[in-house]
Amino acid sequence: MDTRPVDQHAPLVGHVLDGRYRVDALIAHGGMATVYRAVDLRLDRVVALKVMHPSLATDASFVERFIREAKAVARLDHPNVVGVFDQGAQGAYVYLAMEYVAGCTLRDVLRERGALSPRTTLDVLEPVLAALGAAHRAGLVHRDMKPENVLIGDDGRVKVADFGLVRAVGTASQTTETVLGTVSYLAPEQIDDGAVDQRADVYACGIMLFEMLTGLKPYAGDNAAQVLHQHLNRDVRPPSEEVPGLSPVLDDLVVAATARDPRLRPQDAVAMLADVRASVPGLSEAELDLVPPRARASGHDHHDNAADRTSVIPRSVSVPRAVRPPLLPPFGDDPVDAVPAAPLGDTGGVHRTSVLPSPPPPVTGRPGRGGARWRPRRGLWAALLAAVVVLCVGAGVWYVNAGQFTRVPPLLSKTRAQAERRLADEGLEVKSVEQKYSATEEPGTVIGTDPAAGERIRDHGEVTLTVSRGPRMVDVPDLRGKTLDEARAALRGAGLAPGMVTEAFSEESPKGAVTRTEPGRGERRKAGTTVALTVSKGAPVHVPDVGGKPEDEARTELEDAGLDVSVADRRVFSDVDEGSVAGQSPRPDSVRAEGDKVTLTLSKGPDLVEVPDVEGKHADEARKVLEAAGFKVKVSRFFLGDTVWDQSTEGGDEAPRGSTVTIRVR
């Protein structure tokens, strides 16, 4: 590592860490680690380098947490999770090399814009829940979900980062603040006893949902203790109390996710994602594009192209938005539908619950001739009869256009049996059942319907169910002995992804052949899993010393050792004979692989120069003259004196440049 003076907040910028990662810029500086943008010199790609503060590197628990993050995230193969490529250490620096996401964090967006529209909020929430769902189904809990850990790329991708506090479900947890996470997003059970499961992440997502919809955190205080007290003793209020006009559907999602009793929340992020997807079709376009008052107050009014500025964030799942399905509780296996109002547009303005008016009762008036009571005129009766006819016709039109229809109920995440019972209750039938692989949904659960949830369908119509087969599992093939290209092709053919390539010496395998894989051959993995390859460098060879030997002799000795030989174009002066080896690279006795190249530099022979005649000169003058000619000088004195009376090489003779000339002084 370089030892140049550096900025105390970015001590690695301009240096190369572990001989591989060139650190280019500081991204973020936190209490536990510093994140840099770096270049992987081996693979020539940009990475985010998360480096633990050296002061913490001596703490075994912190180092273990760092390594746990690398291992935990490496197990996840999901497009909405920031990937971890490598983990290592150099001296006091322990680091993770992670996927670099060019863009900003959700915190940056909230700081700039305040509250977001419901449509933009859901654009962010859905991929976050999908990422956490993958972690939850792998038995992991993030434990530190917050806007700072939601990355939004310049290309619109949303990714969850920083699994530094991740733990497997059921493992012990300490209750220190650094272990628990960030105060504003802690679930009550995290504060109580530190024993958490996936529902703690659901709670944090509910807090983030409230914050995105309102621009505010639900709990505020002068210190952390006040915020913790509110988590334990106050329910999160519906966001519509802060932003009038927000749909009750969004209120339900927030209230369910932030229930203080974890048993009342969705069981994990997969269940919450299913609730979101089932509820969204019930939002109208106006409800989805509601501009929150806080956004208007900040200059983001309805007429300033706010929607354009958020268009880089795509919806992870396309959902219909023009229809309103039956209302659905936020979780549970057997939701009870509320009866939707009939569409007014199909009735010609006559509502299905309209009540026919009764004729007015007789009114006693002044008795006329003969004492007869006043009765309604014939024209009024005709008008009433016409109204009855219009209503009857309208009801008939409604029945023809709408009365024969119902709507497909939401069935996502239900088992096939539950979905079939629900359809039967709605008077619908199952047309067919298709199966598809799913990396996030349990096998046997519904992942889609045709028609989609909320769409109109005739009574006794048929619905096609798409049921999860779970993740597609494949066996890692045996790649031993294959070339690198053959191994990569075999992995892709098996549904796996070729990963990092490492070279290692091998006595058994020829150079370039695959010797092992990680995971190993025969192990079952999800389709798309990355497989690392180790390729043979050939048998190790100790480079022989051929210095001073003639070229032919040196070449034969090296080739017999299994090495290739090349000769440098340029020769050099040296003490060895002309045409003999004056230098070799790599150096003698270094270890190389069979077939590696050794470059020889041949000698031009000694560089001969004429020796100056210095006899009779003062000793100091003689030394200067000889050194200027390229010689080393040794002085031999006889008695006391300073005059040269003899020299070892006669003046006018030639001697190799750099050789020693002895002068005798008396």
Task: State how beta strands 530-536 and 581-585 pair.
Answer: unpaired
pLDDT tens for 196-251 read 889 999 999 999 999 999 999 999 888 888 898 899 999 999 999 999 999 999 99
**Residue 175 to residue 214: CA distance in whole angstroms:** 30
Question: From the candidates 77, 86, 123, 144, which is the catalytic residue?
Answer: 144
> Tell me, what's the pLDDT at 152?
92
pTM of the predicted structure, to 2 decimals: 0.46
Give the chain's residues under pLDDT 50.
1-8, 168-180, 295-377, 393, 396-403
Instruction: Write the CB contacts of 367 (distance below 8 Å, at least 6 apart in sequence).
Output: 373
> Tell me, what's the pLDDT at 385?
59
Residue 628: helix, strand or coil by DSSP? helix
DSSP state letters, 554-573 = HHHHHHHTT-EEEE-SS-B-
What's the DSSP call for residue 56?
Answer: G
Is residue 144 flagged as an active site residue? yes
Instruction: Write the CB contacts of 35 (distance below 8 Å, at least 6 apart in sequence).
Output: 26, 27, 28, 29, 48, 49, 50, 51
647-660 residues labelled b (16+ CB within 10 A) or e (exposed): bebeeeeebbeebe
**Residue 48 to residue 67: CA distance in whole angstroms:** 16
> Tell me, what's the pLDDT at 605?
85
pLDDT tens for 193-211 read 767 889 999 999 999 999 9
> Tell me, what's the pLDDT at 5?
36
Q: What are the CA-CA distances from residue 443 to residues 248, 395, 447, 463, 650 (Å)?
A: 32, 45, 10, 20, 98
> Tell me, what's the pLDDT at 502?
83
3-state secondary structure labels for all residues of 254-289:
HHHHCCCCHHHCCCCHHHHHHHHHHHHHHCCHHHHC
By CB atoms closer than 10 A (0-12, 13-18, 19+), residue 385 is exposed
3-state secondary structure labels for all residues of 384-453:
HHHHHHHHHHHHHHHHHHHHCEEECCCCCCCEHHHHHHHHHHCCCEEEEEEEECCCCCCCCEEEEEECCC
In order of start, what are the domains of the chain with their CATH numbers? Answer: 1-100 (3.30.200.20), 104-337 (1.10.510.10), 338-356+391-401 (no CATH), 409-468 (3.30.10.20), 473-536 (3.30.10.20), 540-602 (3.30.10.20), 608-665 (3.30.10.20)
CA atoms within 13 A on the CB side of 518: 10
> Tell me, what's the pLDDT at 366?
37
For the chain, the average pLDDT equals 78
**C-beta contacts of 302-307 below 8 A and 24+ residues apart:** 306/113, 306/117, 307/117
Q: Sign of the CA dihedral 137, 139, 145, 151? A: negative
